[in-house]
Amino acid sequence: MQEADLPLSYSVYLVIGLGGALGAIARYVLSTWIYQKYFYTFPWGTFVVNMLGCFALGIVYVLGVENLVTSPNTRLFISVGFLGAFTTFSTLSLETLNLIKSGEIIVAVLNGLGSMLVGLIAVWLGMSLTQLLIK
């Protein structure tokens, strides 16, 4: 059963909302810590959060969708709720646009393309490692 097949109920909204609240808090804590510890022109906080989210989504996909190890509500909690709020594509887009506006074109391109490329690799790594571990 895919998430789209689940009936919408208050429990589904609660599961997604709780995951989203925790994911947003985790994103704020981790990205703030990275920015305080490693302040550079490049937006490392958002980049790291997005790559960790991509890696984790690869794991959740293999466990939850390909192998049905987790329940539909658990998948919704983690993938739609927690990781949906944890990853920050809208923040990535805003930071990249602000870099362009401030004349940091090379850094903006590195941020946008780097996030996309490394994100794809992170999802693939998460899926591949999980598939190896559960065999």
Determine contact, residues 59/128, Cβ cutoff 8 Å: no
Q: What is the pLDDT of residues 47-89, one digit of tens each?
A: 899 999 989 888 888 887 777 787 888 889 998 899 999 998 8
pLDDT at 22: 97
Q: What is the pLDDT of residues 82-125, one digit of tens each?
A: 999 999 887 888 889 999 999 999 999 999 999 999 999 999 99
The answer to whether residue 1 scores a pLDDT higher than 50 is: no
Contacts of 80 by beta carbon, 8 Å cutoff, 6+ apart: 3, 16, 19, 20
